[in-house]
Amino acid sequence: MGSFNLRTISIAVVIALIVGTGAGYMVGNSPVSSLLEEKDGLEAEYDSLYLDHQSIEAELDSTQELLVTLETTVEELRTENEEFEVEVSALIEFYEVLVSNLKNERDLLETQLEVIPIYISTIETLENEINELNSQLDVLSEYTQITSTRTITIDLIGTCTRVIDGDTFELSSGKRVRLADIDAPESYESGYYTSTIALSSWIQGETVYLDIDDIYQTDIYGRYVCVVYAENGSGYANVNYALLADGYAVSDDYPNEFDPGDWGVPGNLDISEASQDISSPEPEPEPEPEPEPEPSMTYVGSINSDKYHYPSCYWAKQIYPSNEIWFTSKADAESHGYVPCKVCKP
C-alpha cells in the first residue's frame, strides 16, 4: 500500500503543475522535465522496493517455515531429553543399588578375611590332632595285630582222598565234608570244573584240619560242616576263605557257629584235642551189591532229607546206599512227608 500512495502523489503533483502554469508553460519547460525525471526515478525506486518487498516476503515465509521446523525439532529434542533424563535416572538408581551391593559384599569379604585366619589356625590344630590320633591308631593297630589273633580249635585231622565239587570232598575214611557257608557251582552249572580244580589244588591228597560246626556237626546229607584249613608255607590257610577270595565260590551264611566275617582275621590252630580220621587198617569186605530197585520203585530219597528224586538226579547219586528210601509213586513219597527235588523236578 505504501508504494501505491507514492505513485498517486507523484501524478497529483504533475497535474497540479500543469493546471497552474498553463499549457504553454509545459512545453519545453525545464521544471516539468525535472519532475518527469524525478517521477521515473521514483517509479524505478518503487519497482526496486517492490522487488525487495517480495524477496523479504519470500524470505519471511521461508524463515517462518524454518521456525516451525525448529520449534518441532526443539519439541522432539525436549521429548528426547525427558526420555534421556528418565534413562539417566534409571541408570543412576541401578548403579546406586550396585554400589550398595558391592559395599555389602566388600563388608562380607572383610569379615570373612578376618575369620579365615582363625579357620586356618583351627584346621592346623585339627591336623595336628589327627596326625597324633593316626600315630595312636598305628600303635593300636600293631597292638591289635599282636593281641587279636584268634585261637581256632581243630576237631578232626584227616586226608582228602577225593574232591567231589568246589565245596565238598571225601576223607580217607569215606566220610564226606561240606565246606561251611560257601556255595560252589553244581555239576550242571557253569564254573563247576574250575571250582572243583581250585579245591583240589588246595587239599587233594593233603592233610586237612577241620573245625567242625559245634551246633549241628553235619548237614541233612550226613556230611561234616566245617571250616577247612590246609598247610600253606609255614602256616595254615582257611580254604573256605581262599575259595571265596579267588571267586570260585560265593558266600552263603547258613545257620551254624561260623561267621565268614571273621575269616580274614589271623588265627592260630589248636590241634591239641583234634581226633585223627584214620581208615580201618583191615580192608573192609566188599559190600554186597544192593539189589536193583523193583521197576515200580521209581523215586528215591534219603532218610536224612525230605526231598525225593529221580534215580538219575545228581543229588540222588550223592545219597549213601544205606540212607536210601524208595517210593513207588509221587503220592507214596509225599505221604511219607517228602517233597519234590527242585533240581530234577520229579
Q: What's the grid cell of residue 52?
A: 525487495
DSSP H helical segments within the chain, as ranges?
A: 2-21, 23-26, 30-147, 192-203, 239-245, 314-317, 330-335
> CA 2, CA 50: separation in Å to the nearest integer?
10
pLDDT digits (tens, 9 = 90+) for 28-80: 456 778 888 888 888 888 888 888 888 888 888 888 888 888 888 888 888 88
Distances (CA, A) of 14 to 7, 8, 46, 47, 304: 11, 10, 17, 20, 170
Structural contact between residues 226 and 213, judged by C-beta atoms closer than 8 angstroms: yes
Pairing of strands 250-251, 182-183: antiparallel
> CA 293, CA 20: separation in Å to the nearest integer?
187
Rounded to an integer, the average pLDDT of 210-231 is: 94
Of 16-25, 33-42, 233-242, the one with minimum mean pLDDT is: 16-25
Note the pLDDT of residue 123.
87
> CA 53, CA 62: separation in Å to the nearest integer?
14
> CA 61, CA 67: separation in Å to the nearest integer?
10
**Helices 30-147/2-21 angle, 10° precision:** 170
Note the pLDDT of residue 295.
42
Note the pLDDT of residue 11.
61
Note the pLDDT of residue 283.
47
Q: Which residue has the higher pLDDT, 138 or 214?
A: 214
Q: Assign 288 a pLDDT band (cuts: 50, 70, 90).
A: low
Structural contact between residues 299 and 327, judged by C-beta atoms closer than 8 angstroms: yes
Note the pLDDT of residue 317.
80
Note the pLDDT of residue 286.
53
Note the pLDDT of residue 13.
56
Structural contact between residues 160 and 204, judged by C-beta atoms closer than 8 angstroms: yes
- Going by C-alpha positions, the residue among 224, 209, 202 that lies closest to residue 269 is 209
Is a pLDDT exceeding 80 seen at residue 25?
A: no
Q: Which residue has the higher pLDDT, 304 or 193?
A: 193
> CA 161, CA 253: separation in Å to the nearest integer?
27
Query: Would you say the pTM of this structure is higher than 0.75?
Result: no
Note the pLDDT of residue 284.
52
> CA 114, CA 49: separation in Å to the nearest integer?
91
Rounded to an integer, the average pLDDT of 151-163 is: 95
Rounded to an integer, the average pLDDT of 5-13 is: 58
Instruction: Give 165's strand partners.
Output: 168
